[in-house]
Amino acid sequence: MSTLVTAFCAFLLLCNSNTGAFSVLSSKNHSRRLNLSLLKASSGKGFGAPKANQTPKKEKQRNEKNKKKKAPSTNKPYVKSETDAWLAELQEQANQSILGQAVQGTDDPFWQLIPSLLKSKFSVNDKELVRIAGFLRHAVNPDLPKLEEPLDPFRPVHQLHAYMPGLGPGQPFYEPSQVALCQQLTKHYDTIVQEYHALLEDSADRFQSVTSMNYESGWKTLVLFYNGHRIPNFPYHLCPTTTRLLETVPLAGRIAGFNRQQPNSGIPNHTDGNNMWLTAQMGIELAPESAWIQVADQKRYYEKGKCLLYDTTYRHETFNAHETQERVVLHVDFFNTITMTPIEIKMMQYIYTLREEFMKAEGVAKVGAQIL
């Protein structure tokens, strides 16, 4: 990983403080404070600084007067060696935690720094971090066995690329009533349909194929959120209710938007590699009893205004059997709010955000599913 990325990690350690400076307890129980003035230009040479010999005489006199009256500052000036020592101390503290132990042995600087970044941003005890530590352990050792659940031929856990142990037994479909979002989508179905058509009438054709599999299978998406983030310059004013409802759940690192499936086409059988996410889909436009999804060995038909909630780590496939009518659903991937705690979700969102930014810093043009 580049030096720039590692330096960014150090900067984030500073930014994770709620104040303008950090206070870190050293082994001698003395407090060391590092002022964030290290970000400012030195010697008055930053943007907007006056040119040499151009300071007005009265201003000079006023400055001299203020210098005499001003009490001496208790802030230490930025010293690189001191900052390095402080960062090393913080990382050593994190290394002793359950998170630090989880990444021991890795030579990837990103994962080496994650325990320090998490510990500096979130104030939680090790008991709350057990499953996060398990995720980190599997992230740095992807070949570790995932044997906490009985083997299921429809759920190839060895293919998971992002795995959190301890989430309990999975199931292909969940009851939509378990997630408030599904109830709210159904309640506002008519408004969401109107907003979908408002987006269609917009001059820009915003549908795209998210993966090559989607493209080859007649599936295109009007993406509203990508990797959990809003899209720059997107006309959210045309779909305010849809946007507001989607943002009531912790959006995951994939997509949320409207999916169109062409007539007489479908997505082939496959599995996705993240056991921390769930997918909800609500029927928007489709012919009755024509479009279905099968997850594991269970088949469900899409209906207008009704949600299906399922786990994509199980093998699944879709098909629209109608000859002329396309199938449109509102699709959203989000963190599993049924089995994960709020603090676990916040920490995973933070990790995903960091990973995305670091990959961009290293020149990865399209992040997508490559994040984790």
DSSP secondary structure letters along 197-236: HHHHHSSS--EE-SSHHHHHTTEEEEEEEETTEEPTT--G
Does residue 150 surpass a pLDDT of 80?
Answer: no
Q: 209 vs 304, which has greater pLDDT?
A: 304
The model's confidence at residue 28, banded by pLDDT at 50, 70 and 90, is very low
Domain(s) labelled CATH 2.60.120.330 in the chain stretch across 173-343
The model's confidence at residue 259, banded by pLDDT at 50, 70 and 90, is very high
Exposure pattern of 295-320 as b/e (b: 16+ CB <10 Å)?
Answer: bbeeeeebebebbbbbbbbbbbebbb
The phi, psi pair for 216, rounded to 5°, reads -70, -20
Q: What is the pLDDT of residue 253?
A: 79
Please tell me whether residue 76 adopts helix, strand or coil conformation.
coil
**Which helix H or strand E contains 7, and what residues bound it?**
helix 3-15
Q: Under 8 Å CB-to-CB from 8, ≥6 apart: which residues?
A: 357, 358, 361
Q: 159 vs 306, which has greater pLDDT?
A: 306
Is 330 buried (19+), middle (13-18) or exposed (0-12) by CB count in 10 A? Answer: buried
Residue 82: other Cβ atoms inside 10 A: 13
Q: What is the pLDDT of residue 169?
A: 85
Contact 327, 284 (CB under 8 A): no
* DSSP assigned state of 301: E
Rounded average pLDDT over 211-234: 81
Look up the CATH number of domain 173-343.
Answer: 2.60.120.330
